Structure 1
Amino acid sequence: MNPIPFAIVSLSLFINPALALTQLPPPTSVPPATESAAKAAFGVLQGRWVRVQGGYVITINSVDADGRLDASYANPRPLPFHTAVATSDGNSLKLFFELRASGYNGSTYTLSYDAANDRLIGVYDQVVVKQKFEVVFVRSKS
């Protein structure tokens, strides 16, 4: 038996377990500033938004860091949203609302925040009558 290959194999068995014991640095966590930056970006959505076509109202009371909205809808009577969420896609904010109240049964608003004009623009999908409408909501000053 050749002693050189035996020595190499023995040495590798001795070194490899030592490498396995090497401590790796702890994983870095996402800095809290990222969460607060997202919350600050979503904060611009808070307020009372009136739809230009018809006077329907979306009121956004608050937005958590995950984008869940505490929001309500009025047409003119108040209706709860089944789903109300905001997402950040790069520099743009997207909103999605779903209504399941009687007469709405899954109708949705898919909106984007237009920062330059401080408005919400997008599509209202009225599933009951099978129609989609382009919509604009402006911030109410009152």
Structure 2
Amino acid sequence: MNRIATAALALLLGLVPPLARAQANQQADAAPLRFHDPAEEARFHALTAELRCVMCQNQSLADSNALIALNLRREVLALMRQGKSDDEIKNFLVQRYGEFVLYRPRLEARTWLLWLGPGLLLAGGAVALALAVRRRRPSTPPQDDEEQEW
């Protein structure tokens, strides 16, 4: 039993240096990006705000601190400097990571339900509400007040 505990401790201690190096590499990659001019910076921030971090899934590329987000931000800036348009950059990322990388997916045959679904649900709810109100309405006309007993 003592040998198993010693082996487990040795294994854990053997994993600490690689984890520490990975942490150091992530912090080294977090160096701030340098922009040539304010227009490039504004375009970069607008573009990364429209892209989703593929690891975090609920944060934009601009907001995420994940290592892949840091790398993707650097790649987006490199593509911008190569003269690529915003659409070309988005297409490149969609080819690599799928449509999910876009916060606003394109209106295509496979995404029409995503775009039209909320409206269809709202219309269905309105129809259901109208039917429920119609069922509750009495079918016989109300009697005159003279015939009612108070």
Could you tell me the TM-score, scaled by structure 1's length? 0.27
Compare the two structures and name the one with the higher strand fraction. 1
Normalized per residue, the structure richer in helix is 2
Q: Which has the larger radius of gyration?
A: 2
